[in-house]
């Protein structure tokens, strides 16, 4: 894929501490708390929605109120239970189950928090949606479907898909249609689901490494039927691995943040060796970078970081269920300052300040 012309992204991340660790004796957190979503309740209270991993790698989505220090820095949480568990058929396989890696975007035009999450069901990881008005009660809209595009000569619905997240406001799609935009990361190896099928790529794609794509949902369709949020259309490649810290694959992070330069996407890049797509990896390194998207056309990359903004350096980031992982998944504004929440070695949750340089 073409190299972007600018590596100047005027933002940096500065560690601010650990926000959440597994609670001793809590069986639902025996294998870690990680990769949280976030949001504000109707009264303005800030919450994390962490992935809670129980023994056997079974994940649920929890709810935890964020505790702030006197100077407004997240320093801990108060747990308030589980809000999404793998109790639907599409979230359960014969030997696995999970509601994993939630990303939550508050879409003001809908008055709803929209959660994308990984349903770890009979055919492996698939994207699903749920919506809420208060972060506590979630209504499932079900698994995502992908409209067929003959120009791609492939059915995106065949593939596992992760790292999905909506933009917070409608945008103009390349065809001029007001739309809700969503980022996702198809996984092209069909052998993960059906052994022997191997890697299949869309027409025009020559790099099989997992990359960030963008799709759209027409606003008018959602206004008629909220379930249309699960029917993604007009898919196109957005960004792939380009720099050394992204050598293996990249994926999206928190909901894109509107900034003066356009849309700021904090993403992750991976190096190392993937042993098994479904196993907890031990030979990888996840670091956080940033991509700037055009404010008027978010399908266009205008700049990206050639070096990571945050890489595994502390003991908590280097040692855990999956060592050497910094995995950003949520961003929130607190008293005029933005904080990025991230998974630490698939075991704990950290937080970093997002600063303009």
Please name every residue paired with 207 in a beta bridge, in sequence order, or none if there are none: none
Q: Give the contacts of 118 (CB within 8 A, at least 6 positions apart).
A: 98, 99, 100, 101, 125, 126, 127, 128, 162
Tokens of 63: 């709810």
| H helix runs in the chain, sequence order | 219-224, 315-318
According to the CATH classification, is domain 33-356 in 2.115.10.20? yes
CA–CA dist 341, 307 (Å, integer): 19
Read off the pTM.
0.96
CA–CA dist 219, 181 (Å, integer): 10
Give, in order, the Cα–Cα distances in Å from 242 to each of 20, 165, 248, 279, 311: 32, 21, 10, 25, 17
- Secondary structure (3-state) at 157: helix
Helix H, strand E, coil C: the string for 341-355 is: EEEECCCEEEEEEEE
Q: What is the pLDDT of residue 2?
A: 44
* Other C-beta atoms lying within 10 Å of the C-beta of residue 228: 18
| In contact, 350 and 318? CB cutoff 8 Å | no
Tell me the pLDDT tens digit for each residue of 108-120: 999 999 999 999 9
CA–CA dist 82, 64 (Å, integer): 9
> Residues, the chain, total?
357
| In contact, 118 and 84? CB cutoff 8 Å | no
Spans of the chain, pLDDT less than 70: 1-5, 275-282
CA–CA dist 59, 268 (Å, integer): 21
| Nearest-10 Cα torsion for 243, 245, 249, 254 | -100
Tell me the pLDDT tens digit for each residue of 174-205: 999 999 999 999 999 999 889 999 999 999 99
The edge-to-edge listing of strands for the beta sheet with 337-344 is 11-20, 348-356, 337-344, 326-334
| Nearest alpha-carbon partner for 156 in 99, 251, 233 | 233
Q: What are phi and psi of 146, to 5 degrees?
A: -120, 120
User: What's 195's DSSP letter?
Assistant: T
CA–CA dist 78, 60 (Å, integer): 17
Q: What is the pLDDT of residue 283?
A: 79
* Other C-beta atoms lying within 10 Å of the C-beta of residue 108: 9
Q: What is the pLDDT of residue 278?
A: 58
Q: What is the pLDDT of residue 5?
A: 57
The ranges assigned to domains in the chain are 33-356
């Amino acid at each position: 894929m073409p190299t972007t012309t600018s590596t100047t992204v005027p933002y940096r991340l500065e560690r601010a501490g650990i926000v959440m660790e597994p609670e001793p004796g809590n069986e639902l957190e025996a294998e870690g708390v990680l990769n949280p979503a976030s949001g504000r309740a109707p009264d303005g209270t800030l919450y994390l929605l962490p992935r809670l991993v129980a023994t056997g790698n079974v994940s649920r989505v929890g709810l935890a109120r964020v505790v702030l220090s006197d100077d407004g820095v997240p320093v801990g949480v108060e747990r308030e239970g589980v809000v999404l568990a793998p109790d639907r058929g599409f979230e359960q396989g014969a030997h696995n189950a999970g509601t994993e890696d939630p990303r939550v975007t508050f879409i003001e035009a809908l008055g709803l928090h929209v959660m994308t999450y990984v349903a770890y069901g009979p055919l492996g990881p698939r994207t699903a949606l749920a919506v809420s008005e208060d972060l506590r009660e979630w209504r499932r809209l079900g698994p995502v479907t992908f409209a067929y595009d003959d120009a791609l000569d492939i059915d995106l619905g065949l593939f596992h898909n992760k790292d999905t997240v909506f933009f917070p406001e409608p945008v103009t799609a390349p065809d001029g249609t007001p739309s809700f935009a969503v980022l996702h990361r198809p996984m092209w190896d069909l052998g993960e689901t059906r052994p022997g099928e191997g890697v299949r790529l869309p027409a025009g794609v020559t790099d099989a490494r997992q990359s960030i794509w963008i799709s759209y949902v027409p606003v008018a369709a959602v206004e008629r039927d909220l379930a249309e949020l699960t029917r993604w259309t007009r898919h196109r490649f957005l960004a792939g691995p380009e720099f050394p810290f992204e050598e293996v694959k990249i994926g999206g992070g928190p909901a894109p943040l509107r900034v003066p330069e356009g849309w700021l996407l904090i993403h992750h890049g991976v190096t190392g060796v993937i042993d098994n797509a479904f196993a907890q990896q031990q030979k990888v390194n996840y670091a956080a970078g940033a991509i700037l998207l055009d404010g008027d056309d978010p399908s266009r990359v205008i700049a990206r970081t050639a070096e990571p903004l945050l890489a595994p350096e502390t003991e908590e980031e280097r040692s855990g269920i999956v060592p050497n992982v910094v995995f950003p998944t949520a961003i929130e504004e607190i008293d005029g300052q933005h904080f990025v929440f991230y998974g630490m070695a698939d075991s704990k949750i950290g937080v970093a300040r997002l600063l303009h340089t």
